[in-house]
Amino acid sequence: MCERYDLIAIGSGPAGRRAAAEAAARGARTAVVEREGAIGGAGAMRGTIPRRTLRAAIVELTGIHGRARQPAVIEEDDLLWRTWLVVEREQERIYDELRRLRIDLIIGDAAFCDPHTLEIRAGDGPVRVRADRIVIAVGTVPARPASVGFDGQTVFDADGVAGIARRPPTLVVVGAGAAGLECASMAAALGSRVTVIEEREQLLEDVDAELVETLAYHLRGLGVTFRLGERVETARRCRAGGAITRLRGGERIRSAAVLHTAGRQVDTAPLELAAAGLESDQQGRIAVDARFRTAQPHISAAGEVIARGCRRTAQACSIATIPELAHAGHGERELDDAGVPFLRGRARYRDLTRASIDGERTGLLKLLVHAGTRQLLGVHVLGASAGEIVHIGQAFLDAGLPADRLAEMTFGEASYADAYRVAAADACGRLPRSSARSRGRL
């Protein structure tokens, strides 16, 4: 017998759960499919949440801003106990959420049989389910090239946060994307000497260059060395202990451990998309339209599985480095390429009361404002609470509001949000008062 649903979400991460919750709230019979031991998705079990929990523990226990404590007195269990606790609580919260909303949880690996039917492969044998609508919301897995000898102890990937907590005296980080720089900054805060190797010539090409350079300067001060434009040929554990990373030119770098973070793949291969009349790109991502519909209108995609060119511009992104990076909307390079006239407005954390209270030494909020319409075009933040306050700017971007509104707002003086008032006033103060205000979108 084939169980029937109004909607099935493949993946129990935030995107899949939200789609299922919205359908259930409208009275639809809904299910979420997730593989064994992965409730909450890759982010909850191995990626974002464990990594950010470890970061919070490092910031607190090392006193990284004021150096109130020394890393030498911190044990591995001190760093990891909170990570284990948060992951466990997150799973309990998700189970409770699904039960409360009366959403069925189906454990197993999903594969399409046809555009409306899924086969769920579990230990008790395969079962088939059918749905009027299907949402694909699977997460990502780290790339594991054959040239890297992963052993989970000396050579590990970005999902192995415990490798950072072991505090290797020297660490090579392969890849300077978001995960690589997050892990590099955490290891450096713990006292490891870190070498970051990146094939590209620039760090975080999609992030504001001024903020990236400020972050790199800060990390160099913590002892991080950047090797840009270098390609890693192999990385292997040594019999005598430690690891050797060999570069394209033949140079060998010895370290106590290697963390490989270069590349992630969306885990769509097991879904057998062709049976549903769908296809993915080389990274496993699926193209969607403005309403998140795939080539099959009744099948939608959400979250990391969406092809990059299909993602909304105003979507906020945060990177949990130390200090944190976040941005939303347009960047300077994008606006320059489009010929859009804009001005910059800056607020430096050193001028904020809240930053002085917290002992923050590094931080900047930068706004990009249209020189004609005064519309807010982009928000870029480096510093404490960046991932939180960026959503204030995101709301303005979504609403198409002018930056003047931010300059006129009253924020708590002892808050990081007050940086918006300062930055907006900086930008708007250099604009002619005769400029028309617009609520339209770029």
Which CATH class for the 317-428 domain? Answer: alpha beta
pLDDT digits (tens, 9 = 90+) for 246-290: 999 999 999 999 999 998 888 898 999 999 999 999 888 999 998
pLDDT value, residue 312: 57
* pTM as predicted: 0.89
CB proximity list for 163: less than 8 A, separation 6 or greater: 152, 153, 156, 257, 259
Q: Is the pLDDT of residue 176 over 80?
A: yes
Q: Which CATH number fits domain 155-262: 3.40.640.10, 3.40.50.800, 3.30.70.1880, 3.50.50.60?
A: 3.50.50.60
Percent of the chain at pLDDT > 90 equals 75
pLDDT digits (tens, 9 = 90+) for 42-65: 778 878 899 999 999 999 888 776
Q: Quote the Cα angle for 315-318-323, to 5°.
A: 155
DSSP 148: B
Contact (Cβ atoms closer than 8 angstroms) between residue 330 and residue 206: no
d(Cα 401, Cα 393) in Å, to the nearest integer? 10
Q: Give me the chain's average pLDDT, please.
A: 91
What is the sign of the dihedral through the CA atoms of 77, 80, 82 and 86? negative
Q: Which tokens sit at 125?
A: 């044998």
Instruction: Characterize 56-90 residue by residue with b for buried, 16 or more Cβ atoms within 10 angstroms of its Cβ, and e for exposed.
Output: ebbbebbebbeeeeebeebeeeebbebbeebbeeb
pLDDT score, position 436: 45
Domains 3-142+265-310 and 155-262 share a fold: yes
Amino acid residing at 76: E
Partnered with residue 382 across adjacent β-strands are 325, 364
Sorted by where each begins, the domain ranges of the chain are 3-142+265-310, 155-262, 317-428
DSSP state of 1: -
Tell me which fold the domain 3-142+265-310 belongs to.
Answer: FAD/NAD(P)-binding domain (3.50.50)
